[in-house]
Structure 1
């Protein structure tokens, strides 16, 4: 995987997880989206946020998005809470848009947490190639 376009340092363990997924699913040189979901996550009971990651045919990460529920009950909505948009060099947090560099510290923390949750077996993984 080409992580040069990220403009933010990638955690070695996260890179290893993604490389293993690419190999296990024979995704080399194919555009794909990875969806990591905690099957028990809901607006009412909480859980671990849904994460989506998109890679293009040149093996460049286009974005990593962390989704969270906003609201409760029947009106709860799953929305982008954090979005690292590497393709457009933008970082978005709760609807506010910034240059990607402003998300550097949060990206470090987010990666560490994601790797821990992944290693705990929290997520179901869905792979969509296109």
Structure 2
């Protein structure tokens, strides 16, 4: 286990975390004081709209474990514009490590198996690539 990967922990789901994903998330945790028990990271494309498309907003919540230097993934939600006449921003993909479930708007609840791992790996790698393209504005909301 690399020093960076030991900072981010998955309490109940064992989904593959790439080094790039871990590095991306932990860069936003580095400046948080030890008094913070949780943090929400919001990744937003300022140009994203129902009319023009763009990159989906993503919200990631992490909570501090009993060991202050370790953060645990709590949930991750990918939102998209849904509906034709009156589109609304709604959950497209949702995964909760603390509640041990994954859900997609087109499929429903996803089985916690190999298919979820493959879907997650594809989503994760795309997300990291979009972040590398600098398409998101990131907001860090600590719970201190």
- Would you call these one fold, judging by a TM-score over 0.5? yes
CA contact (8 A) 1:43 1:71 kept: no
Which residue, out of 4, 9, 22, partners 2:10?
4
Structure-2 change in CA distance of 1:107 and 1:83 (3 Å): same
> Structure 1: how far apart are the matches of 2:44 and 2:122?
19
| SS of equivalent residue, structure 2 residue 22 | helix
Extract structure 1 runs of 4+ deviating beyond 6 A.
Answer: none
Aligned length: 128
- Please identify, of 63-72 and 26-35, the stretch whose mean Cα deviation from structure 2 is larger: 26-35
CA contact (8 A) 1:54 1:61 kept: yes
Aligned: 1:85 with 2:96: yes
Q: Deviations over 1:72-96 (max 9, x none)?
A: 46x1111110111111111100061
> Structure 1: how far apart are the matches of 2:139 and 2:112?
27
Q: Which runs of 5+ in 2 are unaligned?
A: 1-6, 66-70
Instruction: Pick the structure with greater CA Rg.
Output: 2
> Structure 1: how far apart are the matches of 2:23 and 2:64?
19
Q: Which runs of 5+ in 1 are unaligned?
A: none
RMSD (Å) for aligned C-alpha atoms:
1.7
